[in-house]
Structure 1
Amino acid sequence: MLIFYAIFLSLILSLGSAYSTLSDDTLKNLPSPGDDFHIKQGSILAPILIPRVSGTEGNAAVLRHFVDFFKTHLPKWNLEFHNSTSTTPTSNGKQIPFVNLIATRDPPGAQVGEVGRLALVAHYDSKLTPTGFIGATDSAAPCAMLLHLARNIDAALTKKWGAMAAEGIDELDEQKGVQILLLDGEEAFQSWTDTDSLYGSRALASDWERSFHPAMSTYRTPLDSISLFVLLDLLGASSPNVPSYFKTTHWAYKNMAAIEHRLRELGIFKSSPNHSSKMEKRKNKKPRAEPHFLVDAEKGDKMFMGGFVQDDHVPFMARGVEILHLIPTPFPRVWHEMDDDGDHLDMDTVEDWTRLVTAFAGEWMELEGFFDFKKEKRKESYEKTEL
């Protein structure tokens, strides 16, 4: 037993501790979305900025965009469709289809039921009314953030798992994967009720609860495999105020808040009043008070009162899944208004959220030392030349 422990300890130490923060250099060099988030021509964001009510051609077009993105840029991710149907208060008895897309990246050779996953989640449908509603913050921008995140961490995951295999510790180290859930049918068709909302997430959570992994698996069901369910919603407006909603995941909220603080200290957050781009335009160069997106980092245990915002996490939370909900309170001014469109996104804030959530995923997956920024920059340069 002592010999086994010594071997195990030496192997684990060779790749660092169980949880590793990203270095300042890594935070500084995480690629920005750049032109990919241009609201008219951007290859990631622009195709989502259309009306995409569940069951419509716009909804199907956005789903095809997601699939094409993964198949083109991230072929190592496993894609699954989860299909369900339901009548709605406006469908006159007709069954409306709802399609969730599940993109998963697990370690090579991982067995079913043996991987705990970080689930990163957003809904991609838009509201039926007002007619022509886009829903840029709700939730086109969050979907784009997750696509960019997946592309940013993909090569680092490959490099890390290759290093683990070379060290021979893939069976001893805790196996962790990443799952991106792009959910359909979050919006109510008429008015928000328990049955007129969350169509896709309710169906998925119910099915996953009843889908059992092989006997003796570490995780009994796909729900059990979710180590943390991080839901992004209503993100992209300026000056968001995002509370910590749940006591049991306040530790994860604090980890993300610590990353935000570091990004601001490093001068990377573009929405900051003290970012170099803002300072150059001001006559008074004196630093201003630094606002934060995640405002509850110092929240004490006794301050959790049990309130939360109804959203796609609810069916999962009801089944015991741990939730980190990234949604501002109060909601953005444009919430459910026609001007929740690309023109009213604050792109500095969109980019800051993208970098923050990407860094959180990078720390969760212990990717420090596995990013190859020179290679990424060469690839970006080549792609622009080809265009």
Structure 2
Amino acid sequence: MKTRLPFVLHALQILLFVCLSREYTSISDDALKLIPRPREDFDIKNGKLLSPILRPRVPGSEGSTAVLNHFVDFFHNDLPQWKVSFQNSTSKTPVTGNKEIPFVNLIATRDPPWANPGEVGYLTLVAHYDSKMTPEGFIGATDSAAPCAMLMHTARALDGALTKKWAAMDQAGIKQEDYDLGLEEHKGIQILLLDGEEAFDQWTKKDSIYGSKSLAADMEATFHPALSTYYNAISSIHLFVLLDLLGEGTPTPKMPSYFKTTHWAYQNMATLEDRLRAQSLFSSSPNHPSKRSASSGGPTGTNEQQAKSTEPKWFFDIDKSNDRWLGGLIEDDHLPFMARGVDILHLIPNPFPTVWHKETDDGEHLDMDTLGDWTVLVTAFAAEWMDLEGYMDKKATNKRAMNDKQKAKIISKTEL
């Protein structure tokens, strides 16, 4: 019996950690407040993340290569623990004759420690980085330079918390064999920056989503070792969250729930929106202190309550009860993945922004408050998915050292 005691204690320790970490839980209001906004990184002239993307970037062009290099440099310099890979393809288009146009998809992943190939299930965050050929000089700020910058910020905002969580798992004695026994599942984050979404001439099934079609087929054909949890790369995607046409401030974006199978995820996003608005963390809100002080001289008390405007709601379909699901009506990069059984959460407004496919879809027509709100919302959703409560950094210090609350959380998970 004595020889088995260490094993029993280890098993109980693992079970305790698993019970506290497997459940999908909301992050606290305090954690929501710790999510950093992009601020100067989204400056359209000099911002580190956004400004390099605000240029024409037609597939195969110099601009496309420059933007791809921007992504690579970001992950290499800012997030070295992320694995970056590429998936390449070529295709003829209706306007280039027999010339083969190259398409390059970037795949960035952050896996937990001890994870073997085929054992990680992903929250997959997606945007396309190419722009249209016409009109000449088209920037495509909402479509989709801004969503790409949002995902870069999200990756950076959560990187330290992921490191801390997995360090706590290491301290708790979580080892690969514990996963092999089914006591815990690997969860990771995957970011796809896709090429060739736009049509070269007019949108058809053949002239569109070049990169997405190639990547989905390649992931389906990429098999993991025998007895892996996920038999191929595409089956490891737990949820495919596609961001498109985001960042215009007016009119207020209306986000339908497109797919019945992922309405639960839509509801989680809607709940986060409500909570962020309630805490005055949505800068685009007419009730945000910065807006109200400017328009009404900063009323207080009863007058302030009377002066509040009706709070907008982006995710208006939270209580949807009918069967009018519009997922098949909007064609986008999700289609090849959906055809292979992947669950899709499509974050695209309906109606589309007023600047859609116009010369005015440029940096000057982005609304920085709206763009920042989207970034915080997506980051909060990813933080909940990855169960990062207690591991978020204080934005005032932005240090990687754990505070007392985080230490207490780890102790509660590791001590019997």
TM-score range, shorter chain: over 0.9
1:207 deviation in Å?
1.0
> Which residue does 1:253 correspond to in 2?
266
> Which residue does 1:107 correspond to in 2?
112
2:305 is the alignment partner of 1:300: no
List per-residue Cα deviations over 1:111-161 (Å, max 9, x = no partner).
000110000000000000000000000000000000000000001001001
* Secondary structure at 1:282 match in 2: helix
> Which residue does 2:289 correspond to in 1?
276
> Which residue does 2:15 correspond to in 1?
9
> Which residue does 1:362 correspond to in 2?
383
**Letter aligned with residue 196 of structure 2:** G
* Secondary structure at 2:234 match in 1: coil
Bigger mean CA offset, 289-298 vs 141-150: 289-298
* Secondary structure at 1:83 match in 2: strand
> Which residue does 1:310 correspond to in 2?
331
Number of residue pairs aligned between Structure 1 and Structure 2: 376
* Secondary structure at 2:323 match in 1: helix
CA contact (8 A) 2:75 2:82 kept: yes
CA contact (8 A) 1:245 1:308 kept: no
Question: Structure 2: 5+ residue runs without aligned partners?
Answer: 1-7, 401-416
TM-score normalized by the length of structure 2? 0.87
2:189 is the alignment partner of 1:178: yes
Give the direction of change, closer, same or farther, for the CA distance of 1:65–1:161 in structure 2 (3 Å limit): same
Taking the TM superposition and a 5 Å limit, the aligned residue runs for 1:285-296 are 285=304, 286-296=307-317
> Which residue does 1:372 correspond to in 2?
393
**Letter aligned with residue 339 of structure 1:** T
2:198 is the alignment partner of 1:187: yes
Question: Structure 1: 5+ residue runs without aligned partners?
Answer: 380-387
- Alpha-carbon separation, structure 1, partners of 2:381 and 2:229: 25
> Which residue does 1:30 correspond to in 2?
35
2:206 is the alignment partner of 1:201: no
1:9 deviation in Å?
3.5
2:166 is the alignment partner of 1:161: yes
2:329 is the alignment partner of 1:329: no
CA contact (8 A) 1:246 1:324 kept: yes
> Which residue does 1:221 correspond to in 2?
232
- The structure with the largest alpha-carbon Rg is 2
TM-score normalized by the length of structure 1? 0.94
> Which residue does 1:347 correspond to in 2?
368
Give the direction of change, closer, same or farther, for the CA distance of 1:16–1:378 in structure 2 (3 Å limit): closer
2:244 is the alignment partner of 1:233: yes
1:377 deviation in Å?
3.1
**Letter aligned with residue 122 of structure 1:** A
CA contact (8 A) 1:247 1:301 kept: no
- Alpha-carbon separation, structure 2, partners of 1:376 and 1:80: 32
List per-residue Cα deviations over 1:65-85 (Å, max 9, x = no partner).
000000000000000010000
1:21 deviation in Å?
1.1
List per-residue Cα deviations over 1:182-230 (Å, max 9, x = no partner).
0000000000011100000000001111111111111011100000000
> Which residue does 2:412 correspond to in 1?
none
- Alpha-carbon separation, structure 2, partners of 1:260 and 1:306: 21
* Secondary structure at 2:115 match in 1: coil
**Letter aligned with residue 83 of structure 1:** N
**Letter aligned with residue 349 of structure 1:** T
- Alpha-carbon separation, structure 1, partners of 2:104 and 2:65: 9
Give runs of ≥4 in structure 1 deviating > 6 Å.
none
- Alpha-carbon separation, structure 1, partners of 2:276 and 2:339: 34
1:308 deviation in Å?
3.3
Give the direction of change, closer, same or farther, for the CA distance of 1:320–1:48 in structure 2 (3 Å limit): same
1:173 deviation in Å?
1.7
1:109 deviation in Å?
2.3
- Alpha-carbon separation, structure 1, partners of 2:22 and 2:392: 17
* Secondary structure at 2:242 match in 1: strand
**Letter aligned with residue 55 of structure 2:** I
Taking the TM superposition and a 5 Å limit, the aligned residue runs for 1:60-99 are 60-99=65-104
- Alpha-carbon separation, structure 1, partners of 2:313 and 2:89: 39
1:22 deviation in Å?
1.1
**Letter aligned with residue 69 of structure 1:** F
CA contact (8 A) 1:236 1:350 kept: yes
> Which residue does 1:382 correspond to in 2?
none
> Which residue does 1:384 correspond to in 2?
none
